[in-house]
């Protein structure tokens, strides 16, 4: 068993220990587990169809039959909130996935090769950082056309620079380590060194950043959907449901309350887990607020 | 110091050049002909040709970019596809509304965050500290537009204290401006306050563990004197950066809140431009916000270097 494997097992044990010790992190993990179950099995678990219009039951307040009430078309809000969980998870995972693949690759090359490549790539990242996150996402979706796919691409693009920066910072310190120089001296190729020696050793900050970025990606998707630029009707999305419900806010509070509460709980859960992971894996990493500031 | 300022100026100029390129390329990403897309059912050949020529779309891409850059440097950001008015004038008209909302939100955030962050750090582990940490976790997780909707429901729908939306200029009627700005500013400000509270708390805790603070306490100085003379001054230096960055991001990042509260600022303009496919206005708004963002960051870096000379040698 290699030293690296032992180290990783140790980290996993520490993460599990912290989750057991920290009630907030444990609650966050449980909320995320429920979210995944609802997201994957929403269509089977939802009490009604998401587009089952019932004009006899328009704007009904929460009751046993409809725990989250009904909307202006008599549709069951609980079912729509449950099905929309899948959209949020999907957008979060795909957009952060795009940001990780592109950002980590760019950060690896920039940090490993340094020189002009590092300069060019990092100045490009600085340019993307010069735009407020939501504004750039809105602009990208506006030109590509609204929809789930473009929203995921746009959010992926705006979160790429943070991954590039975190990766590059990690690579800069790891590339000076003895084991990297040893790998160079035995003739290992650059790609092999990056994949086998550098990447595993900068995984901790990347895992933390992923958890925090998932939270912000879900918030960004909700904002885009609220603006009508994300998921298109009649498919449900939490942000879109909030937008549609705002016109009825004074007469049907449940239309605004439940979808917003779902976004809040999801983002909170990712943040709590992200904070706990940071404490274990990378105490020097940014706090949630700093991460948000740096991506704002 | 001079070398530091020049270096930062050059860096900002390079990034600004990149920003103009990204903003310029946005129009090229539009599938099909952007003018035809923008005109939609209002298409007529004469208007179409005039707008294409005015936007320089009949030129090669490189020529178009350098022309866009040259005109942008002189403050000419083109004309709106919809109204035919200069984009610069349209965007600048919306700046006061956004500025008044952003500044009010940041002032509110400071009023909440500074005392909360300080007390939370001084009484670390106390009930106030726990409350502050819950508040900051709440603030970074809650969608501001949801809080806005709940605010409208409570303060406008149930209590009837505040108008649900709309805008009155500060110069027209300060009283009515205040009643209209209250809900959106508090909505945005609470999120900002939660970020600042956490930052002030950690900055204070860091300074509180410094040797010179222990020395001051060992000399017998009262806690209040130690905090006000030694801790606060040093702890609040990095906070300046966060406040400025927050302000800069609010200038361009409150699209959703401006839409929700019908606040006629840059965010609302961006949203309207997207809905109307008025690409020159969208480009102009995005460019102005990014340039403001860069400018604020530059000024903060210089101010920070003045406050903490170690920065210039790092």
pLDDT of amino acid B127: 87
Kindly report, residue by residue over A53-65, the tens digit of the pLDDT. 777 888 888 999 8
- Of A104, A124, A99, A115, the C-alpha closest to A171 is A104
Of the pLDDT bands very low, low, confident and very high (cuts 50, 70, 90), residue B302 is: confident
- Could you tell me which residue, B85 or A284, shows the higher pLDDT? B85
What band does A290 get if pLDDT is binned at 50, 70 and 90? very low
pLDDT of A230 strictly over 90: no
Give the pLDDT confidence score for residue A289 in this predicted structure.
Answer: 41
Which residues of chain B have a CB within 8 Å of the CB of A250?
152-153, 156-157
Interface test with chain B among A61, A123, A124, A142, by most B beta carbons within 10 Å: A142
Q: Is A144 on the interface with B (CB under 8 A)?
A: yes
Q: Where are the beta strands (DSSP E) in chain A?
A: none
* A48/A40 Cα distance (integer angstroms): 16
**Confidence (pLDDT) at A1:** 44
- pLDDT of res. A292: 42
pLDDT at B252: 67
- Which positions in chain A touch B293 (Cβ < 8 Å)? 130-132
**What is the average per-residue pLDDT within A66-71?**
88
Of B29, B138, B156, the CB nearest to A143: B29
pLDDT tens digits along A261-281: 999 999 999 888 887 777 777
A–B interface: beta-carbon pairs under 8 A: 158
Lowest mean pLDDT among A155-169, B188-202, B230-244: B230-244
pLDDT at A240 over 50: yes
In tens, the pLDDT along A130-172 reads 888 888 898 888 888 888 899 999 999 999 999 999 999 889 8
Of the candidates A123, A228, A267, the beta carbon closest to that of B18 is on A123
3-state secondary structure of B86: strand
**What is the separation of C-alpha B283 from the centre of its chain, rounded to a whole number of angstroms?**
17
Q: Angle between the A77-113 and A115-129 helix axes, to the nearest 10 degrees? A: 150
State yes or no: pLDDT of B186 exceeds 90: yes
User: In the predicted model, what is the mean pLDDT of chain B?
Assistant: 85
pLDDT of residue A209: 86
The answer to whether B42 and A157 have CB atoms below 8 angstroms apart is: no
Contacts of A219 in chain B (CB under 8 A): 143
Cα A96 to Cα A35, A100, A165, distances in angstroms: 17, 6, 15
The token pair at B35 is 């003018």
At residue A7, the pLDDT reads 60
Short-list B80, B99, B92, CA closest to B282 = B80
**A159 and A103 Cβ atoms separated by less than 8 Å:** yes
B290–A131: do the CB atoms touch at under 8 Å?
yes
Read off the pLDDT of each residue in A43-47 and give the average, rounded to a whole number: 80
Tens of pLDDT, residue by residue over B86-136, are: 999 999 999 999 999 999 999 999 999 999 998 888 887 788 888 888 888
User: What is the average per-residue pLDDT within A91-117?
Assistant: 93
How close is the nearest chain B Cα to the Cα of A249, in Å?
6
HSE-up of residue A230 (Cα within 13 Å, Cβ side): 32
CA distance B222 to chain A (A): 31
Spatial distance between the Cα atoms of B1 and B47, rounded to a whole number of angstroms: 53
pLDDT band at A95 (very low <50, low <70, confident <90, very high): very high
pTM for this prediction: 0.84
| pLDDT given at position A288 | 44
Query: What pLDDT is recorded for position A136?
Result: 87
| Contact at CB, A131 and B145, closer than 8 angstroms | no
**pLDDT category of residue A231 using cuts at 50, 70 and 90:** confident
CA distance B96 to A292: 26
Nearest to A277 by CA among A211, A186, A223, A201: A211
- Give the model's confidence band at A296: pLDDT under 50 very low, under 70 low, under 90 confident, else very high: very low
Residue A4, pLDDT > 80, answer no
Q: How confident is the model at residue A222 (pLDDT cuts 50, 70, 90)?
A: very high
Question: How does residue A10 score in pLDDT terms, banded at 50, 70 and 90?
Answer: low
**Least CB-CB distance to A227: which of B15, B152, B255?**
B255
Do residue A289 and residue B142 have CB atoms under 8 angstroms apart?
A: no
Residue of A22, A261, A293 to mutate for B, most B C-beta atoms under 10 A:
A293
Comparing CA positions, the residue from A248, A106, A128, A176 lying closest to residue B19 is: A128
DSSP state of A51: T
* pLDDT for A295 beyond 70: no
Between B51 and B182, the higher pLDDT residue: B182
Please give the backbone phi and psi of residue A70, each rounded to the nearest 5 degrees, phi first: -125, 160
This model of the complex carries an ipTM of 0.83
């Amino acid at each position: 068993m290699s030293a690296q494997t032992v180290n990783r097992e140790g980290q996993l044990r520490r993460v599990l220990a912290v989750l057991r010790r920290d009630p907030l992190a444990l609650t966050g993990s449980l909320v995320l587990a429920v979210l995944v179950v609802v997201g994957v099995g929403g269509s089977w678990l939802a009490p009604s169809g998401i587009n089952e219009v019932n004009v006899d039951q328009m704007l009904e307040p929460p009751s046993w039959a409809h725990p989250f009430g009904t909307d202006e078309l008599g549709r069951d809000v609980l079912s729509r909130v449950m099905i929309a969980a899948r959209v949020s998870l999907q957008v979060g995972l795909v957009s952060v996935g795009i940001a990780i693949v592109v950002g980590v690759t760019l950060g690896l090359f920039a940090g490993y090769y340094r020189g002009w490549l590092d300069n060019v790539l990092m100045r490009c990242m600085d340019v993307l950082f010069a735009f407020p996150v939501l504004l750039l996402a809105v602009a990208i979706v506006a030109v590509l056309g609204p929809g789930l796919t473009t929203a995921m691409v746009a959010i992926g693009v705006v979160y790429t620079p943070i991954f590039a920066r975190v990766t590059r910072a990690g690579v800069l310190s790891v590339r000076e380590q003895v084991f990297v120089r040893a790998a160079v001296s035995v003739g290992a190729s650059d790609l092999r060194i990056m994949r086998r020696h550098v990447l595993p050793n900068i995984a901790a900050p990347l895992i933390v950043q992923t958890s925090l970025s998932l939270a912000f990606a879900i918030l960004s998707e909700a904002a885009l959907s609220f603006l009508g630029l994300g998921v298109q009707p009649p498919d449900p999305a939490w942000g879109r449901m909030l937008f549609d419900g705002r016109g009825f806010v004074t007469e049907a509070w449940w239309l605004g309350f439940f979808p917003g509460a779902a976004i809040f709980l999801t983002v909170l859960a990712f943040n709590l887990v992200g904070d706990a992971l940071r404490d274990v894996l990378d105490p020097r990493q940014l706090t949630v607020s700093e991460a948000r500031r740096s991506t704002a | 110091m001079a070398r530091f300022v020049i270096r930062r100026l050059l860096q900002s100029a390079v990034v600004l050049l990149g920003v103009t390129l990204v903003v310029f390329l946005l129009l090229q990403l539009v599938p099909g002909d952007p003018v035809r897309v923008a005109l939609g059912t209002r298409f007529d050949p004469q208007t179409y040709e005039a707008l294409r020529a005015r936007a320089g779309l009949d030129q090669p891409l490189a020529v178009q970019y350098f022309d866009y850059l040259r005109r942008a440097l002189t403050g000419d950001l083109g004309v709106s596809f919809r109204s035919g008015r200069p984009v610069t004038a349209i965007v600048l008209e919306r700046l006061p509304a956004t500025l008044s909302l952003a500044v009010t939100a940041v002032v509110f955030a400071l009023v909440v965050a500074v005392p909360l962050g300080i007390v939370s750090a001084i009484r670390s582990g106390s009930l106030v500290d726990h409350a502050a940490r819950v508040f900051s976790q709440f603030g970074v997780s809650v969608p501001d537009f949801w809080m806005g909707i709940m605010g409208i429901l409570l303060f406008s729908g149930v209590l009837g204290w505040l108008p649900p939306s709309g805008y009155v200029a500060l110069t027209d009627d300060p009283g009515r401006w205040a009643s209209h700005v209250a809900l959106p500013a508090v909505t945005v400000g609470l999120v900002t306050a939660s970020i600042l509270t956490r930052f002030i708390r950690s900055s204070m805790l860091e300074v509180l563990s410094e040797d010179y603070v222990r020395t001051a306490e060992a000399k017998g100085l009262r806690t209040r004197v130690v905090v006000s003379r030694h801790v606060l001054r040093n702890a609040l230096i990095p906070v300046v950066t966060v406040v400025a960055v927050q302000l800069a991001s609010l200038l361009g990042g409150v699209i959703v809140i401006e839409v929700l509260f019908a606040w006629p600022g840059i965010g609302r303009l961006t949203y309207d431009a997207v809905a109307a496919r008025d690409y020159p206005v969208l480009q102009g708004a995005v460019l102005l916000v990014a340039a403001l963002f860069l400018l604020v960051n530059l000024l903060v870096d210089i101010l920070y270097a003045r406050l903490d000379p170690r920065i210039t040698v790092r």
